[in-house]
Amino acid sequence: MIKKIISAVLVCAFGILLFGCGSSEKVQMQEAKEVVADYFEDLKSAKFDKASDYVSSDYKDPLRLEEIEPALSGLMLGMNASMNTGEEFKKSFHQFMDVVMNQIVNTYDIEKAKWQKEGVVDVQVNFEGKDLASFDPADLDEDANTYMESYLVENQDRLTALYEEKGEQEAYKVILDELSKPLFELLEKHVKEDLPDITYKVRLRVEKQNDEWLITKSEIMN
């Protein structure tokens, strides 16, 4: 009996050195859940560059969350080219992005994690937000252009006089100050009110590659 106890202790001690004596699975599941949580937090905060650090190069997102930034950035660049906007406009745009992502990634709950094998964990997330499949950048583009055209028509005489008196740069500055906030409030309203609410259950595969946990694939379960 004593020999068996000593043997079990030695086996466990050896296991601790190598794998944590049965705790390795729990550690890996916790690490995988932390990666998923950080990924969603960065998306929710519109930190797309940081969020991309948590996914593999060939990762395909079925929720299409990472498509938002290039779509809206393209919209912003189009406005910037037509209006010669400056820093205040960009600031309003990034504030708008924060609002959009907080709507699209409204809440998420990491429900459970399942260890598959060494270095492979599945994490299940309950996700609530706005239906990105209903999001069409062209709708935003149309609303934005309509608003800008209306603003320019209504203020044409005043802006023309300002341009002639103060010059091009001062006229653009006034346009920027007056246009950016109400324009992006209009776009925020579109996202909040026009996109339908959705609830998804998502399973994400997290794998350890070169000592780094990365999300390699995900699927919508409902």
Q: Which of 164, 198, 212, 215 is nearest to 56 (CA)?
A: 215
Q: How far apart are CA 118 and CA 120, in angstroms?
A: 6
Confidence tier at 15 by pLDDT (50, 70, 90): very low
Please, what is the Cα angle at 152 between 148 and 154, to 5 degrees? Answer: 115
Report pLDDT for 83.
52
If you write DSSP's letter for every residue of 111-139 in order, what string do you get? Answer: EEEEEEETTEEEEEEEEEEE-GGG--HHH
Best mean pLDDT range from 118-122, 166-170, 183-187, 198-202: 118-122
Report pLDDT for 104.
83
Encoded amino acid at 176, one letter:
L
Report pLDDT for 55.
95
Q: Is the pTM of this model over 0.85?
A: no
Instruction: Provide mean pLDDT across the span 11-30.
Output: 64
Residue 222 has pLDDT above 60, yes or no: yes
